[in-house]
Amino acid sequence: MILRAPRSMQGRLFALSLLATLVALLIAAWGIAGVLERFVVAGIDQRLDAEIALLASAVDGDGRIDRTRIEARRGVMQSGGGWRWRIETPRGAMGSTDLPALADGPPGPPGLHGPRDDRRDGPDGPDGEPRAIDGQTEQGVRLHARRYTIATAAGPVTITAAAPRRVIARPIRDAIVPLLIVLAMLGIVLTLAAWVQLRLGLRPLRQLQGAVAAIRAGRADRVDEDQPTELRPLAAELNALAADNEAALASARMAAANLAHALKTPVATLALAVRDDPERARQVARIDATIRHHLGRARDGHAGARVVTPLAPAVAALVHVVERLHAGRDVTIDAAIPADLAVRLDAHDLDEIVGNLIDNAARHAKSAVRIVAAREDRMVRLSVIDDGPGIAAADRQRATDPGVRLDERGDGHGFGLAIVRDLVALHGGGLSLDEAPGGGLAVTVTIPAALS
């Protein structure tokens, strides 16, 4: 299994601090255990050295052992339970019988497994300084021993005192369990602290992300620059970027709108000049349609998400406009819009959507256009219904497919619907064409409702 670094910064930092805490605790545990062992061993060594000194006082200059003196001191010395001592002289030995094996020294005598000398001094040690030997008896009892060699006239006399290894191990074991519990608790506290620190430390980042999201959604146009020192340059850069973006977008829209506007008058002149030539007039009309399309697109999307536009007054004003524009046609336009309906759309885009729909309907209606609207969940559903000839089902279907140029139809339904379709899509809504009950066309758009 491949262990991968977590994707989240918080995860990475947390994993890292967890690892560091663990390593620190392990080092602490190892170090404390080592110090503890040295203390215990030093205490045992003191006792063994005292014993050796006692035994040494019973050995005279000729290498003879004063047994009565040892017998007299026997009560003072540790015995039993693995505590042992032994004196070896060239003339004979005295003491625990299972120690000779130990006494043979480092070259690996039988019964002594893995002799270890943890002192810096040589095998015999300097005079007056006992040296440590660790080993194991044939019965498997592990021993910690001290050995002292005295030079006598008869030759060297070796005095060995040993303690069972377990008297060292037991206090260490007794101490290490509470120590580990304390260390584990320390680890938990450190881990929690790291977690809290990361949560708090990374919070400005999360807040900054929220602020950037708000810019994208149009709820704000800049992020708060009152940030922690490390994030302040980032916030400033983000604001500069947002401002640049806004300016570039505005200038691009302006350029497109200016271009389209500048082209319109010459196109109008041209249209006037070629009106008697149907083919050229059609080409000029195409130029005009293209200009309108891109002018419409240049205007698209400048609405912030914050605006709220009441629907009924906007529709009423547009109905008035369309009635005047189609004054020659005997078409009545009725709007039934609940007074409390409002949409999350700027007035310009709403005018563009509804104006085109009413205009299309009035253009094709026989006698009447109806406009109805209702709130549906988070959207407003607005329908414009005419009693005209309608559109064939296949064309209705095609008209709502994205990418289809509706203005190819050339019957006047097209261009306005293309603008409406693009605009409502931009605002997250939809456009659908249906057959009206009387046979006319019912165009329905869904646009985001302003939630009160």
For 137-279, list the strands marked E by DSSP: 142-152, 155-164
Among 41, 176, 180, 321, binds another protein (CB under 8 A): 321
Residue 94's DSSP bridge partners are 87
Give CA–CA dist 386/373, Å, rounded: 15
Separation between Cα atoms, residue 220 and residue 398, nearest integer Å: 38
Which of 97, 229, 265, 452 touches another protein by CB under 8 A?
265
**CB within 8 A of 48, min separation 6: which ones?**
130, 144, 145, 146, 161, 162, 163
Nearer to another protein, 124 or 288 (CB): 288
45 near another protein, rule: CB under 8 A? no
Check binding of 264 to another protein (CB under 8 A).
yes
Q: How far is the CB of 200 from another protein (least distance, A)?
A: 49
Return the residue of 46, 269, 283, 397 that touches another protein, per CB under 8 A: 269
Q: How far is the C-alpha of 365 from the C-alpha of 357, rounded, in Å? A: 12
Instruction: For another protein, give the closer residue by CB, 126 or 328.
Output: 328
Interaction of residue 318 with another protein, rule CB under 8 A:
yes
Binding of another protein by 261 (CB under 8 A): yes
Q: Which is nearer to another protein, 352 or 407 (CB)?
A: 352
In this chain, which of 352, 387, 407, 422 binds another protein, going by CB under 8 A?
A: 352
Only one of the segments 59-67, 219-227, 257-265, 398-406 lies at the binding site for another protein (rule: CB under 8 A); that segment is: 257-265
- Residue whose CB is less far from another protein, 219 or 275: 275
Cβ-in-10-Å burial (0-12, 13-18, 19+) of 82 comes to buried
CA distances from 438 to 111, 172, 322, 389, 434 (A): 114, 98, 22, 9, 11
395 binds another protein (CB under 8 A): no
Distance, C-alpha 96 to centroid of its chain: 68
Instruction: Please report how the helices 347-364 and 278-299 are oriented relative to each other, as an axis angle in degrees rounded to 10.
Output: 150
Pick 169 or 271: Cβ nearer another protein: 271
Residue 117 binds another protein (CB under 8 A): no
- The letter for the amino acid at 167 is V
Choose the binding region for another protein from 30-38, 206-214, 321-329, 384-392 (rule: CB under 8 A).
321-329
Nearest to 353 by CA among 314, 386, 325: 314
Q: How far apart are CA 226 and CA 103, in angstroms?
A: 79
| Binding of another protein by 325 (CB under 8 A) | yes
State the Cα–Cα distance between residues 243 and 111, nearest whole angstrom. 87
**13 part of the interface to another protein, by CB under 8 A:** no
Residues that bind another protein (CB under 8 A): 261, 264-273, 275, 284-285, 288, 292, 295, 299, 317-318, 320-321, 324-325, 327-328, 347-348, 351-352, 354-356
